[in-house]
């Protein structure tokens, strides 16, 4: 079974996070919700969530994917040396690294987008070396997406990368997409 972590922080975009969590769990991916500063966070629209683990307590080697939703506060994520190191390590280990909305800027600051095509929330393209207009962009082991309205496509791209296209077909059928 594939194992992923979604990094959560105060100000996260709720639609993005909950869509990713729901879709990956429906797909049979073992997904941990991981808090950067603790196990309780409040989203950009004041939806509170209890999380599974604290980031300082996880071993990135045990995960196949790292996912970062966007929202207010993504700039704060770059202040965590452990997070920047984890992003680089997982990317260099050919594990999946995915970010949506403003969060691709975190991947860029970690240095993993230097030679990658990626997308980001419209208006933030200057944050990326090679921005694209597409709603979801996959370049090798990196997946990026634009924002709340692209959350389902983004989550399904992650499922496809982790467990295959046949699971995506089943999910689309089950969720009436």
Query: Rounded to whole angstroms, how far apart are CA atoms 12 and 83?
Result: 16
Give the active site residue among 23, 36, 97, 101.
101
Q: Is residue 136 within a helix (H) or strand (E), and if so which, with residue range?
A: strand 136-139
SS3 category, 59: coil
Query: Rounded to whole angstroms, how far apart are CA atoms 158 and 144?
Result: 10
Q: At what angle do helices 151-163 and 165-174 cross, to 10 degrees?
A: 140
Name the one residue in this structure whose structure tokens are 């995960």.
63
The answer to whether residue 101 is catalytic is: yes
DSSP 128: S
Query: Rounded to whole angstroms, how far apart are CA atoms 136 and 31?
Result: 21
Query: Rounded to whole angstroms, how far apart are CA atoms 157 and 143?
Result: 8
| Non-local CB neighbours of 33 within 8 Å, separated by 6+ positions | 5, 6, 8, 21, 49, 51, 52, 53
By annotation, the residues acting in catalysis are: 101
């Amino acid at each position: 079974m594939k194992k992923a972590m979604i990094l959560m922080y105060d100000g996260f975009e709720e639609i993005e996070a909950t869509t990713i969590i729901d879709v990956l769990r429906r797909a049979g991916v073992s997904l941990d919700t991981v808090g950067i500063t603790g196990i309780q966070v409040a989203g950009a629209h004041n939806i509170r969530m209890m999380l599974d683990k604290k980031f300082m307590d996880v071993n990135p080697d045990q995960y196949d994917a790292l996912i970062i939703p966007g929202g207010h506060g993504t700039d704060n994520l770059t202040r965590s040396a452990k997070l920047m190191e984890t992003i680089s390590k997982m990317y260099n280990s050919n594990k999946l690294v995915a970010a949506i909305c403003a969060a691709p800027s975190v991947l860029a600051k970690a240095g993993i987008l230097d030679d990658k095509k990626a997308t980001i929330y419209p208006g933030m393209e200057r944050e990326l070396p090679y921005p694209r207009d597409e709603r979801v962009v996959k370049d090798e082991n990196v997946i990026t997406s634009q924002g709340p309205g692209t959350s389902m496509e983004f989550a399904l791209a992650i499922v496809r990368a982790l467990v295959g296209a046949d699971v995506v077909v089943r999910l689309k059928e089950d969720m009436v997409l």
